[in-house]
Each structure stands twice: as structure tokens, then as C-alpha cells.
Amino acid sequence: MPVLRHSSYPGPPRYLYNEHLQTIVPSAFRKVKGLVYERERLDLSDGDFLDLDWVDKGSKRLVILTHGLEGDSRRPYIMGTAKLFAQNGWDVLAWNCRSCSGEMNRAFRLYNHGEIGDIHEVIQHALRTKQYEEVALVGYSMGGNITLKYLGVHGKGAPDVIRQGVAVSAPVDLGSSARILDNPSNRFYKKRFLSKLTRKVLMKAELHPGLLDITKLKSVQVWQDFDEAFSAPLGGYRDATDFYTQASALNYMPGIEVPVLLVNAQNDPILTPQCAPAALAQQHSHIYLETPRLGGHVGFMVARDEFTWAERRALEFVSS
């Protein structure tokens, strides 16, 4: 579809005057009240588990929410989306990637941007559990990449009830996103992600002795060093380059067979222009690309609104 040249995002509140404030303030200070989840543990085919958080409204429509790197179902952007969709008559399933629900997973692996086997098991479980007539997939950041890769890989083989997908602030070209994290202006995000992931690597090394060389942590300088030493082996990839190639949704998006919306802000500090594939969107009948000038990374706050513009835009898109 044609690229949406004019975004409906009205812009952030005045005090969020740059891309970093537009990114950090919603993540650190936003509170979503009045949402109650029901937790379910899903046993996976490989003997591991995932924790699923439901909002059951008894609806025939379900939205499945996928969080970002080192996020979980309690992040404000997930809870905001869950609350908005529930208020509008949808059931909600916000799933936590392996190791992200507050308890370390058992297997010698973590989640990653290219892992779509887990979301497939989540979808299959949801369809076995209840008789849904319509399912929408909504993902943020890493979760947006997972959503788009899943729909691209499965194409016409995806369950018929999946009608739409939405990806917000999605690093669909993972290699370029990894490199931009090394920019001096992004040291806050890089340090925060590395700190959290390093703790998990150390836990994995303790649970699975001899399978990871944790001495390599001392030599991590750029983000690719971490992916080479840890993300790749924990994800079953040959090396960092193989990881970036196989994980990037951009390499699979031509196979998408349902309408999808990709929303990436032009001022997103940790995404590159390669993550807004205008040429692909222009020639693909199912891909809508919207690139607001402002918004930051998973930001898109609006003055005096309980919900972000991205949350309302996701609901609008899947309801149209």
C-alpha cells in the first residue's frame, strides 16, 4: 500500500521536547491503573514454559500483545494497550517471553528478536482454549519485529482468524539497529539493556555450567560483541551476523498476507531509516507504513490522554 505520508499523531506534550524525553518519560513515569490480569503458565513443547497474562471479557475477538527487549506484560505500553482493547470489547493475551515474567526459564536459551516458535505456540494455545473468530497481533519494539516476522514466515499458512497485525517502533533491520545503539547519544539505552541482559547471562551460566564463556563479558565494547558471544549461542545462531540476518523481520515481510501497520517515528533514537521500508510498503498490498515526525521509541504520548497515540492507532487499525 502507499506509504501514509501524513500521520495522525498530533505530537507529544511540549515538555517532551526531544527524542530521548519522548522515549524515556513514558517508560519510566507512566502509570496504567485499573487493569487486572489472570496469569496462566503454558508448558512448551520443548519442556520449558511461558507465563501468559489474560484479560478475559468473554469476547470472540482477541488481541495478542508482544513486549520489547527486556520488557514484560507489566510495561506501560503493554498495559495501556491491554486496557484500551479490553474497554473496547476485546479479550487480551499479553505473553511474557522466556525469562521475562519474573522467573528464569529452564532451558539453555533465552528469547530473541527472531524467535517465532514461542508466539506460534501461544497463538495455538489461545485458539485451542477459546473459540475466537478474530485475532489481532500487536507488538512493540522487539515484539513488533517478532509479530511481522511471524506473519511473514507463515504467510498464507497462518491461522485464518488472524486478521491484522500492528508493529510499533520495530527494529525490522536488526543489524543497523544494533549498530546505532553504539552511538554516544544512545549510551543510556545501551547500558540499561546490557546491564539487564548481563544478569540473565550470568544466571544462565550458573544454571548450565560450561555452556557459556562469561569471561567474554569483559571484552564487550560494541553491541555486536554481546550478540556474538551470547545472543547468538543462546538463540541457536551461528554468529551475530547470522542472528541479524535470520532475526530481521524485513527479510520475511514480503510474505505477509494480512493487513499490517508498521509505525516507526522518524526521530526514534534507536532505529535507522532501514527500519522504515518505504519501497517495500509501496509495492506490497498488505503493508501500511506510518512514520510520524516525532514520538521517540515506544513513546507517542499525547497531552491529557490516558492512552498513547500508538495504542489508539493500533485499535483503530485493527477495527477498520
In this structure, the chain runs to a length of 320
Catalytic residue among 20, 67, 113, 297: 297
- Residue-number span of the structural domain to which 123 is assigned: 19-174+247-319
pLDDT of amino acid 1:
55
* CB 59 within 8 Å of CB 91: yes
**∠ CA 179-180-181 to the nearest 5 degrees?**
90
Catalytic residue among 59, 73, 99, 141: 141
Whether 268 is a known active-site residue: answer yes
3-state DSSP of 83-101: HHHHHCCCEEEEEECCCCC
Q: How many Å from the N-terminal Cα to the C-terminal Cα in the chain?
A: 15
**Nearest-angstrom CA–CA distance, 152 and 130:** 25
Q: Is 214 part of any domain?
A: no
Q: Is 237 part of any domain?
A: no
Q: Is 254 part of any domain?
A: yes
Residue 170's contacts (CB-CB under 8 Å, 6 or more residues apart) are 139, 140, 141, 142, 143, 144, 145, 147, 148, 249, 262, 264, 271, 275
Measure Cα distances from 205 to 71, 107, 299 in Å.
21, 12, 34
Q: Which residues pair with 65 in a beta bridge?
A: 94, 138
Q: Is 290 part of any domain?
A: yes
* CB 260 within 8 Å of CB 313: no
Q: Is 253 part of any domain?
A: yes
Q: What cell was used for 133?
A: 473468530
pLDDT in tens, the chain (320 residues): 567 778 999 999 999 999 999 999 999 999 999 999 999 999 999 999 999 999 999 999 999 999 999 999 999 999 999 999 999 999 999 999 999 999 999 999 999 999 999 999 999 999 998 999 999 999 999 999 999 999 999 999 999 999 999 999 999 999 999 999 999 999 999 999 999 999 999 999 999 999 999 999 999 999 999 999 999 999 999 999 999 999 999 999 999 999 999 999 999 999 999 999 999 999 999 999 999 999 999 999 999 999 999 999 999 999 98
Within 13 A of 180's CA, how many CA atoms are on the CB side? 15
**Nearest-angstrom CA–CA distance, 71 and 79:** 12
**Nearest-angstrom CA–CA distance, 260 and 119:** 17
Number of domains in the chain: 1
**Nearest-angstrom CA–CA distance, 181 and 269:** 8
**Nearest-angstrom CA–CA distance, 314 and 139:** 10
Look up the pTM and report it: 0.97
**Nearest-angstrom CA–CA distance, 315 and 69:** 23
**Nearest-angstrom CA–CA distance, 284 and 295:** 25
* CB 150 within 8 Å of CB 115: no
Q: Is 1 part of any domain?
A: no
Q: Is 90 part of any domain?
A: yes
Whether 297 is a known active-site residue: answer yes
How many Cβ atoms from other residues are within 10 Å of residue 134's Cβ? Answer: 15
Q: What is the CATH number of the domain that holds 296?
A: 3.40.50.1820
Q: Is 203 part of any domain?
A: no
In three-state secondary structure terms, 162 is strand
How many Cβ atoms from other residues are within 10 Å of residue 170's Cβ? Answer: 32
Q: What cell was used for 10?
A: 498530533
